[in-house]
Structure 1
């Protein structure tokens, strides 16, 4: 028993010593790694880089300032901080024009405004800029959406000094041989050296097989070489190597879109949607593709989800999304299109103005196409409350009344349209003929004859106008 106890105690002491050595090694490695992060940021700043922080979080700005001044020993001018939302685009443009290499740290929400969409626009316009989004979000789906918006990463708040330094360092200068090879391959690709870039990518894969970022770049290179099957294979492998890396699936979807393969594009978008289900634009595209593939129930669900999501996100207004959904349904299902367009208008009822007139006209046309002329007249009259002197609205109202066989109301609307804009018939032969038919329906040949002559003047080969004119002239004798 004593011998067993001694052995047990010896084993325990050996294990403890090993654990102590591991902890000591971890501390050394951690210090070495932190030093490497510091050197990376210092090199970035010395090469003309800047850190631009758009935030009203004083504690975070002070932490960043302390890192730059006290730990990195760099000038305070290396950090630019602002709480002005409107400065974001201006700073990005200035940085791009001056050829400096800034890293932007931007709050997801600042002064009540969601900046996700603004950052996406900036990244689209200046893809070389690095952006880290500052957020308190913890939901995985929401984080995935933020990363999909074009960010180079997210910093979850609150954050301490070491974590902040690490995220900044990895954004400005990725670590490791694979990353350096990847930078070189990107440079060759940018210079049009496609084959050499592929060779460097191959060397990077020897260092780390199935590296998703390398496979993604290979897909881009193959696509530029118009080797579309190889590009698709590289993107698919990149997606399989890292399921949460969304760029390969996005590129694969775009590739199928260019080739006109709606089914395979939709398949990729569905996989993306499973990983990141909060993207409004993707829901709209999936709905559009589903309509094209005659999957009407699926389309209805997806497009309804897009409108509901837009109401909860500041990126895209619900009225705009509902209007776009209406356009998707306009040809195939006017009734559904009208419902969405009405929803779009109702969502901004308190703010109706001149900008909404086109939507009212479109809604009226959709309702008329669906056979609901009376509902159309109601929408036109709402619009006339905004713009009572709009000749086009009075003209459309007259057409709706004519379709409903209320010829006197149609004639009154047509006369009002002509009084407001005597040149309206000259806008097209179709408009002139439609007005003429309103007057013919009320036996008003005095107004109908000049309109039919105008239609023939604009379109001499119009057989319908010629026949109507001949009939009207014969009846007038």
Structure 2
């Protein structure tokens, strides 16, 4: 690993105080911390890219209050890559983020933003729009953070200018790879498309055409290359050829917003309202949460003499705004529940249920996560029956998640309902037969549940593995001895 030429960055005292506050508090909130040992291969493969970024100089700005995420980034940047901690700034709100961003821009330090998708009970879309409109030519990279975003919300953030998305909790390796992939494309086609885009931005349109066509010669269905070819043709005032390129890109991609956006733009510039409306409707189907677009569609329907369709889209715009507000409140309730869970499971249950009131109508990953966490909270209170019901709801959203079946089994075991617990353990293993491998706690819990349900073959399988990886773990040997070698148990409690 090469040695960097360390440079001093400007220190913002209040920003450092916020970072210190996160450091002091993180010890009490590490239960869900997801930081794994960094793979040397990942560090060695991407380190130079990240070193070059900070040496230019660049700065990582974390717009978050998530102490676990900060710890993952710190472990990736400082501990694994050996970069000074001053290259990470943490800010807890959007007002402060705007000030910090402006400070570094004025000092010619390039920001790389990790930004929560929701802060202070509102989506961060307006801040993303501010970044993109205020610093168009600064090349700021923005990664949006969330536990889970459905496709529609994800598309909404991409439309407003997000470069990528990072799901939390994030491992050290995931953080390093995300940064590297955003700084520089990692495959030949993407790298060449990026080169062509840079030519377009510099108004070197002929060069952009040449590079884009070379990509399409090798990868004929590369929609991104078609888009940049269209941009170059448009720059050369060959508007029909540009439109043809955008249309080809749209036909060769299923979940790519940019071709449709470019087509709408050309038709709008040409005042071709019927075609603009046609592709706006297509764009709305793909990314349905953009309220402003629905209003524009309604306006065009009025122009076409169709007030009924206009009314439909006005109603849809209002409904989307209401759904957005409910989603944000649900996210806030979930944050409150997570904070309460470490101190008061009963209080956490209250806020988990409140969060579910806002999101349970959506068959989303978030609803599944909340039901699962609600079940854990109820188990801590000894309310096993209610916990099973919560896990069952979580399983309805994610029938292929072995962890939900496992948690349900633990609830049954808590209630001494061993046959039911063993059935759920078997279902978990049916989804992931390796689930207990290398994990003493899971191996023990499965072995104990199977043992008490008189499922001795399954019990011995788990307990023998436990004995191999963690000899002397609790009463593992005692249960193995009682299970016996002939499939008969002695002294097994029902």
Q: TM-score, normalised by structure 1?
A: 0.57
Rate the CA distance shift 1:283–1:187 in 2: closer, same or farther, 3 A: same
Matched, 1:136 2:129: no
CA distance in 1, matches of 2:86, 2:297: 46
1:62 is matched with 71
Distance 1:290 1:270 in 2: 11
Offset, 1:157: 1.6
Equivalences, count: 286
- Aligned-residue offset at 1:230: 1.0
Does residue 294 of structure 1 match 2:342? no
Tell me, in whole angstroms, the C-alpha distance in 2 between the residues paired with 1:224 and 1:92: 31
Higher relative contact order (CA 8 A, sep 6+): 2
Compare CA radii of gyration and give the structure with the larger one.
1
| Per-residue deviation, residues 346-369 of structure 1 (Å, max 9, x unmatched) | xxxxxxxxxxxxxxxxxxxxxxxx
**Alignment correspondent of 1:221:** 232
Output one character per residue of 1:147-185: Cα deviation in whole Å (capped at 9) or x when no partner.
Answer: 222100111222222222222211122212223323332
- Report what 1:108 is aligned to: 117
Q: Residue in 2 aligned with 1:306?
A: 317
Give the aligned partner of residue 468 of structure 2: none
Instruction: Tell me the TM-score normalized by structure 2.
Output: 0.55
Query: 1:211 maps to what in 2?
Result: 222
Give the drift of 1:314. Answer: 5.7
Residue 342 of structure 1 corresponds to: none
Q: 2:129 aligned with 1:93, yes or no?
A: no
- 2:76/2:173 contact within 8 Å kept: no
After superposition, the Cα gap between the structure-2 partners of 1:31 and 1:292, relative to the gap in structure 1 and judged at 3 Å, is farther
1:48 corresponds in structure 2 to: 57
Which has more helix, going by share of residues?
1
CA 1:95 to 1:240, structure 2 compared with 1: closer, same or farther past 3 Å? farther
Match of 1:284 in 2: 295
Instruction: Output the CA distance in 1 between the equivalents of 2:49 and 2:70.
Output: 20
Distance 2:291 2:119 in 1: 21
The secondary structure found in structure 2 opposite 1:86 is helix
Aligned-residue offset at 1:33: 5.5
The Cα shift of 1:300 comes to 0.7
**8 Å CA contact 2:249, 2:259 repeated in 1:** yes
> Cα deviation per residue 1:196-233 (whole Å; 9 max; x = unaligned)?
22112222223433322222111112222221111111
1:53 Cα deviation from its structure 2 partner = 0.5
Aligned to 2:44: 35
Q: 1:98 to 1:208 in 2, by over 3 A?
A: farther
- Paired with 1:58 and 1:31, the residues of 2 have a C-alpha distance of 25
Per-residue CA shift, 1:402-430, capped at 9, x if unaligned?
xxxxxxxxxxxxxxxxxxxxxxxxxxxxx
Q: Secondary structure at the match of 2:94?
A: coil
